[in-house]
Structure 1
Amino acid sequence: MTETPVRFEEKSVRNGGRIGIAILNAPRSLNALSLAMIDALTSRLDDWAQDDAIVAVWLEGEGDKAFCAGGDIVALYRAMQHGEAEVQAFATRYFTAEYALDHRIHVYPKPLLVWGDGIVMGGGLGLMAGARQRLVTETSLLAMPEITIGLYPDVAASWFLNHMPSGIGAYLALTGAQLNARDALDLGLADRFIPRERRNELLEALLDADYSAGLEEAAIMSVLDAFEARSLAPPGRVWCERDHVHALTGVADVNDAVSRILDDSREDNSWLTDNRTRLASGCPLTAHIAWRMLERHRHSSLSDVFRDELNLSVQCCLQGDLGEGVRALLIDKDKRPRWRHADVADVLESDVEAMLTPLWSEPTHPLRHL
């Protein structure tokens, strides 16, 4: 029997209301975000938003390894084995639904808490980034690792990476650098550190809180304040290197930034070394389009970012390196992708412009109503 993609519960609080609980239910794939998951979450969040008895929403992933390790790129790869029309139809359906859900979370009218335990990458970070309270633990591992598969940091990363201190967002986009809980707190990707072992106790305290009319937010903040333990978070790896990172990416051209990162002589920091290695073997076209998207959206609205990302994400399925990146990582698992370009310097301006070519006019854009 096929398991439901998302499990939903409603638990009563002591003043008669309820907390809605949603659990991504695909632990064998590290809760990779399938279209079925997206549709189920969207429908239930809409229902809960209209239900006056729902005082808050809690979102987490099944299992102890991941909240959500990313989007369902295997399903996208399978679609890419068919004709162009089929590819465009599925990619448009998938990314439109995903980005609409992410946007819904950013503007959700009720407190929405994400338990960001374990792996939170790509599409998982898209679910978490817009939540009212983003909770991390000692096992949290966040990243936008699209450089390794030939996509680019999407799910509004073109927006939230631009809100980080100068140079850091670009560095994360180019290297797919992994962040721990302390890094996430420092960079504004998380709000609270709570030890994993206290998850059940925290939920019980939330259920026991006083959600008098109009005081839902205050009740939640009071509970979270009692459970937060930032002193127990692992040592951060980004903030202490922020000046160094800025020196690497504080340039006007992506070729210069990539050269600086790859030529960096620092050998005393394994985090920096791992990031260099990831970039060196990553997709050259991804580096260019990630950089360009950050340039394009320095002052854009969240809605405009999602609309532009939808176009580019579908183009990545139609003419980019995504298929080859997924093949090498998850299908054949040889980890030897044959990128279209030899290196970052080999990517032409015309290659980037082709990826940014609009697929829809403004009145026909699938996300025009955001």
Structure 2
Amino acid sequence: MPESFPAQTSAEAAAEPTVLARIEGVVGRLTLNRPRAINALDLQMTGLLDDALDAWEHDDAVQVVVLDGAGERGLCAGGDVRSLYDRIVAGHPDETAVFFRAEYALNARLAEYPKPIVALADGITMGGGIGLASHAAIRVVTERSKLAMPETRIGFTPDVGGTWLLAHAPGHLGEYLGVTGTTMDAADAVFCGFADHLVPSDRLDALRAALAAGGDPEATVRGFAQAPGASTVEAARAWVDETFSADTLAEVEERLRAHTDPAASRALQTMGQLAPTGMAVTFEAVRRARALPDLRAALAQEYGLVMWFGRTQPDLVEGIRAQLVDKDRDPHWSPASLDDVDPATITGAFSDEPAVPLWD
């Protein structure tokens, strides 16, 4: 899901396709092309990406795919949550299944594509952007990168395979990052398994040219990579593991409240501003994802959850309203505190069956 971004005008949409697909040397290059919207992903874009992947999968001229974003702000700020909001408010939450099924199929395809995909997660890469970048074979970040799964800000839960990535972060960092929506820089992303290499942003053009010239793409990227430096999230690992290893999120809050590290107090303060139901579902989803066999299973779990949110949870509409519609940044969650979240509600979220299955 995205940060706040301006909508693309109809004139902009008509001027150029929202995904640019072209062949440069041995590279099939895909550029998300909604720079004013930080390349936020919509249904049309998923179709265009799929079309290009279809065309290149058996094209011997294309040896590697490079995914990047137009503009200076980021690869992709997330998915089209404003459209999600409009459909739920209009009383048609099940219509959102069309977008989620297309998006999640694309996430799985990127992970399984038979040719190497190099994702350049320069700048803001959040929510749906993580689903595009962090399942690629070779994942590049820069000194400008900001990666996050910030769905609890809008009364929602991480999706696009985000819980799979969070579940496999070191220790209990996955619960911490998912519940709080904390933003990772390049070093954090590499440490937590969301990225592989740091390449300076002013070297990306040269990297693209080198990839187009052919050769082993992994070795080529390594030739441009630099050490990512110290990770703030890695430094926080001790207090995060002490607190987020608790059996319940209520106990996590108790441990944070008692902890002496100032960062633990800041995490508690952040949690006090986020959607209690969204946090509780996310905490459980990351835990359950650790026991799942693969990305597709995690996507199926997430799909059930996002459809449940759309059909049953007023927090999702309220969160999008506060962040992206009215932009007053003053959501009123229901229930308003973790103490009032019924454990049976959370259990029910994971047993709810979507009307339309994710995988045919």
CA RMSD of aligned residues (A): 1.7
TM-score under structure 2 normalisation? 0.91
1:87 aligns to 2:93 (yes or no): yes
1:205 is matched with: 210
1:113 aligns to 2:118 (yes or no): yes
1:60 aligns to 2:71 (yes or no): no
CA shift for structure 1 position 352: 1.6
C-alpha contact (below 8 Å) 1:319/1:355 kept by paired residues? no
1:228 is matched with: 225
1:323 aligns to 2:317 (yes or no): yes
Secondary structure of the equivalent of 2:23?
strand
1:214 is matched with: none
CA distance in 2: counterparts of 1:255 and 1:292, whole angstroms? 12
CA shift for structure 1 position 360: 4.2
CA shift for structure 1 position 50: 2.1
1:294 aligns to 2:314 (yes or no): no
Secondary structure of the equivalent of 1:41?
helix
Q: Of the candidates 194, 199, 219, which is equivalent to residue 189 of structure 1?
A: 194
2:51 is matched with: 43
2:142 is matched with: 137
CA distance in 2: counterparts of 1:55 and 1:293, whole angstroms? 36
CA distance in 2: counterparts of 1:308 and 1:170, whole angstroms? 16
Residues 248-293 of structure 1, C-alpha deviation per residue, up to 9 Å, x if partnerless? 11111121113333554433x5xx5654433210000011111121
CA distance in 1: counterparts of 2:266 and 2:182, whole angstroms? 8
C-alpha contact (below 8 Å) 2:275/2:336 kept by paired residues? no
Change (3 A) 1:182 1:273: farther
1:240 is matched with: 235
Q: Which runs of 5+ in 2 are unaligned?
A: 1-10
1:249 aligns to 2:244 (yes or no): yes
CA shift for structure 1 position 195: 0.3
Change (3 A) 1:20 1:262: farther
C-alpha contact (below 8 Å) 1:176/1:278 kept by paired residues? no
1:261 is matched with: 256
2:6 is matched with: none
C-alpha contact (below 8 Å) 1:185/1:192 kept by paired residues? yes
TM-score under structure 1 normalisation? 0.89
* 1:87 alignment partner AA: P
Larger displacement relative to structure 2 (340-349 or 43-52): 43-52
Q: Of the candidates 32, 35, 53, which is equivalent to residue 24 of structure 1?
A: 32
* 1:253 alignment partner AA: T
CA distance in 2: counterparts of 1:327 and 1:124, whole angstroms? 21
Q: Which runs of 5+ in 1 are unaligned?
A: 13-17, 211-218
